[in-house]
Amino acid sequence: MELTTVWFCLIALLWMGYFVLEGFDFGVGMLLPFLARDDRERRLMINTIAPVWDGNEVWLITAGGATFAAFPEWYATLFSGFYLPLLLILLALIVRGVAFEFRHQRSDKSWQAWWDRAIVVGSFVPALLWGVAFANIVRGVPIDADKNFQGTIWTLLNPIGILGGLTTLTLFLTHGAMFIGLKTDGEIRRRARRLSVVLGSIAAVVAVIFLLWTEVHTGDLVSAVLFIGAAVCLVGGVLAAASGKEGLAFTGTFLTLGLAVAGLFEALFPAVMPSTLAGGVSLTVHNASATHYTLKVMTIIAAIFTPLVVLYQAWTYWVFRRRLSVQHIPSEAVH
């Protein structure tokens, strides 16, 4: 297998990790005003992701760094053409991270309410815009013969881009509700389970439409199998949630996101950014890659450190695996 293909697969794996892990973080943040009934329940929801949310974002940083090093032409065109949505995502992630740290610094209700809103918005914006971005990458964008993006933000807000955004938004909401059902106990656990069934049913309809469009226009047999697997896992997860089997339900949405992202990258390969212009140049794993020597050095480094990172993060989840309930949350926040 060529090193360009190896790194395309590795970048796909990094995005799979980011979506399946950060996806439930976003879902929990967006559901904060809908599942929690008081401040203790809001703190409970935040505490379910407090030990892991920042570690989950490492997958995004690594994916961006890997793209820059392995496919510099892809990175340059992507970040110039998608500058505004990526900037909005970055700002949202910054605000969200600050909100997690600042919320508990004061007991003032107004102070906490504003940071709660920041968590919701900081989770909603990336959940929507990541789908818009990926839908446009797979669909294709106007790239000229010099590999420059020839569109605007409105070019990206096309029907397929919006459908992609709604797909990630609803899937992350479902994933977050499944996670709350898995990680909590008591009444909030039952509310999360009921809500996950409703959200999962909506997500299933939206996701099937989007994945079907992708398969018809750019897919192949392998991507079709991956998309079908994603749909089956989502339906299975919803049925498991309805039966009160939170572990199986969360596993279902976990696999759904992973298989869906894998299918998108499979449908994209060997392109990394197709061009929709008649005289344009599509970026591929061959014309957008770094030198062979660069990829060789990166492969050695990745082979050493990637397993260590995965093992460390798996250990983190194991340590914080127990359920939480409002009984674990003091009546007043500790400052």
pLDDT tens digits for range 11-59:
999 999 999 999 999 999 999 999 999 889 999 999 999 999 988 999 9
Distance CA 97, CA 22 (A): 13
Cα-to-chain-centroid distance, residue 215: 20
317-331: average pLDDT = 85
Q: Whole-prediction pTM value?
A: 0.94
- Pair of tokens at residue 53: 């949310």
Interacting residues of 130 by C-beta distance below 8 A, sequence separation 6+: 19, 89, 165, 168
Distance CA 224, CA 241 (A): 26
Cβ-contact 215, 228 below 8 angstroms: no
DSSP state of 275: B
Cβ-contact 192, 46 below 8 angstroms: no
pLDDT tens digits for range 237-271:
999 999 999 999 999 999 999 999 999 999 999 99
DSSP conformation letters of 153-203: HHHH-SHHHHHHHHHHHHHHHHHHHHHHHHHB-SHHHHHHHHHHHHHHHHH
What percent of the chain lies above the pLDDT cut of 90? 80
pLDDT of residue 334: 45
Helix axes 246-268, 109-139, angle to 10 degrees: 40
With a cut of 90, say whether residue 226 has pLDDT above it: yes
- Look-up: residue for tokens 């992507």? 78
Cα-to-chain-centroid distance, residue 63: 12
Interacting residues of 183 by C-beta distance below 8 A, sequence separation 6+: 48, 323, 324
Distance CA 244, CA 246 (A): 6
With a cut of 90, say whether residue 331 has pLDDT above it: no
Identity at 282, one-letter amino acid code: S
Report residue 108's pLDDT band, with 50, 70 and 90 as the boundaries.
Answer: confident
Cβ count within 10 A of residue 294: 15
Q: DSSP 3-state assignment of 147?
A: coil
Interacting residues of 69 by C-beta distance below 8 A, sequence separation 6+: 290, 294, 298
With a cut of 90, say whether residue 151 has pLDDT above it: no
Cβ-contact 141, 276 below 8 angstroms: yes
Cβ-contact 182, 28 below 8 angstroms: no
Distance CA 73, CA 71 (A): 6
Distance CA 57, CA 52 (A): 9
